[in-house]
Chain A
Amino acid sequence: MIRRDLVDAMVAHARRDHPDEACGQIAGPEGSDRPERFVPMLNAERSPTFYRFDATEQLKVHREMERNDEVPVVVYHSHTATEPYPSRTDISYAQEPDAHYVLISTRDPEEHELRSYRIVDGVVTEEPVQVVESYMFAHTGVDDTPDGS
């Protein structure tokens, strides 16, 4: 589940950097699995076929997230000429077992494609994406029922 404004921000970033790949993360409170704070990152490769977080910026953002008790809930990047499915390189680098890996394809100039995956130990599992206006009013299932009710 992800807020519409965060989806719009990822897509806008992907469109802005097209034809190079765009990348970034969305931070959320540790343990919440709720993406909240949009953090676009520099693609140090500035390439249409490869991305890498700029290492210096990554450390700075990591420190901010530690101070805020946040983790990267979403790690996103774009594919600018191919479908939004993790490439072999994406899979080999995927090292955040708790993150949702979001891929955005900008191969079509009008319609973007956005999909989300878990990548754990080299195994890719697609997951449904539910876009909501606000987390406050979204139905989030029995886990949110207060104890004793």
Chain B
Amino acid sequence: MAITVSIPTILRTHTGGQKSVEAAGTTLAQVIDDLEANHGGLKSRLVKEGSLHRFVNVYVNDEDVRFSGGLEAAVKDGDNVTILPAVAGG
């Protein structure tokens, strides 16, 4: 069993159009590194200067990772990671 990562429309150019892909790791940072290994270009859209980019929201199951350790958030097999673009502006 792996971790299922759901990919928003804007990032599907990196996954060949797939809405969800599988990845492995025990922290969100490892999951993102694993994503990058298989779908090059994703990491720079998610991480900036060692923390999550302000343009994205990342959830492990139903938990916004900003409240559960950010890139160090724990992830286990069977979890769902959801990436959504932040909807914001001025």
Which residues of A pack against B, CB within 8 Å?
23, 25, 41, 45, 49-53, 55-56, 58-59, 62, 71, 75, 77, 86-98
Q: Are A89 and B9 in contact (CB under 8 A)?
A: no
Tell whether A75 pairs with B87 under 8 Å between CB atoms, given A93-B55, A95-B8: yes
| Contact A95:B85 (CB < 8 A) given known A55-B66, A59-B64 | yes
In the complex, residue of chain A having the shortest beta-carbon distance to the beta carbon of B66: A55
Write out, one digit per residue, whether chain B residues 66-90 have a CB within 8 A of any chain A CB (1) or not (0): 1000000000000000101111111
Candidates A25, A41, A62; contact of B84 at CB < 8 Å:
A62
How many A-B pairs have beta carbons closer than 8 Å: the answer is 69
Binding site for A on B (CB under 8 A): 8-10, 55, 57, 59, 62, 64, 66, 82, 84-90
* Contact in complex: A90, B10 (CB < 8 Å): no
Residues A55 and B55 in contact, CB atoms below 8 Å apart: no
**A96 in contact with B85 (CB, 8 Å):** yes
